[in-house]
Amino acid sequence: MPVITPSAYSSPLLLPGGHLQSILPVFRKVCGVRYARERIHTPDDDFLDLDWAKTGSRKIAILSHGLEGNTQRHYILGMILALHRRGWDALAWNYRGCSGEPNKKLRSYHSGETADLHTVISHVIARNDYSEIALIGFSLGGNITLKYLGEQNSNIHPLVSKAIAFSVPCDLKSGALKLAQISNLIYMKMFLRSMHEKIRAKMRILPGEINDDGFDRIRTFHEFDNRYTAPIHGFKDANDYFAKCSSRQFIPAIRVPTLLVNARNDPFLAEQCFPYEEAAANPNFFFEAPESGGHTGFLAWNRAGEYWSETRTLAFLSDEI
């Protein structure tokens, strides 16, 4: 039953293919979001930069961005405007090293880093300003969100009422292999270039603890994660990291109403990233797989400039399954 079919989404005419549907939204201009930044400290003496966008509501959505993203990404800003239109506050948080300043520790963020999300949620709860919290994640941020919900299971704080995730590589190994294909070379180069810049920034503030020797020979996520993510964050190797941090295995334990939307033509997602069986078995987990939409795309033409993913999110938050 929680497999939602058919999906109500179809891409606009004259916008064919997952690549175009993924790339065109990157050029979207979203105006009207005003942030107030707050820096909070983590239990290991690092910091996270949070961007608040308030309307005075008692309901808030916490937004988690994608790989090498930040709170200025079009999909974050567009979602915040949609939330504001329906009377929600929003908090978009930057992962370690993603707010424009390198974090202090050698460790950074990764697809399974749920401790920092927990720190953010706990900070919001401690303020005692809200009666309801929703979690919204995109791509890597969606994997973190789903994994967190499964880890928490029935211990999830009662203020966390719903969650929505888009374009999630919930099986990390297959997603990494998909992005290593020649058809995705442009994305792979873009991600590696950005991650290399972060390595260089860490080299400046932590001399001797990290280096980029031979980085130009890294061509895939598997190679990057073997070299950096796994040893820095306590995994044996990239395969161990992929296995332990893929959110698909945590879906059966989710206990709050959660919606995952993955487009069938998403160029980042392999077949293993479509958890039909888990949705059929968990009444709390709803899965929707439109034929089109690309990766964090889901573009729509309307006067409000609102993308389908934003409209879909607010419908789910309003109990319109």
CATH of the domain at 19: 3.40.50.1820
Question: What residues are paired with 137 via a beta bridge?
Answer: 64, 165
Flag whether 205 is in a domain: no
- Quick one: pLDDT at residue 13? 83
Share the mean pLDDT of the chain: 97
pLDDT at 77 over 90: yes
- Quick one: pLDDT at residue 276? 98
CA distance 21 to 298: 7
- Quick one: pLDDT at residue 1? 54
Flag whether 301 is in a domain: yes
Q: What percent of the chain has pLDDT over 90?
A: 95
**How many domains does the chain divide into?**
1
pLDDT at 201 over 80: yes
Q: Report the pLDDT averaged over residues 295-309.
A: 93
Flag whether 235 is in a domain: no
Flag whether 100 is in a domain: yes
- Quick one: pLDDT at residue 278? 98
- Quick one: pLDDT at residue 296? 98
- Quick one: pLDDT at residue 303? 82
- Quick one: pLDDT at residue 286? 98
Q: Report the pLDDT averaged over residues 149-156.
A: 97
Flag whether 232 is in a domain: no
Q: What percent of the chain has pLDDT over 70?
A: 100
Residues 10-49: pLDDT tens digits?
999 888 899 999 999 999 999 999 999 999 999 999 999 9
Which is more confidently placed, 189 or 303?
A: 189
119 lies in which domain range? 3-178+249-317
Flag whether 82 is in a domain: yes
Q: Which two tokens stand for residue 296?
A: 């964090």
- Quick one: pLDDT at residue 219? 97
Q: Report the pLDDT averaged over residues 84-109.
A: 97
Residues 101-128: pLDDT tens digits?
999 999 999 999 999 999 999 999 999 9
Flag whether 68 is in a domain: yes
pLDDT grade, residue 9 (50/70/90)? Answer: very high
Question: String of b and e for 295-308 (b: at least 16 CB within 10 Å)?
Answer: bbbbbbeeeebbbb
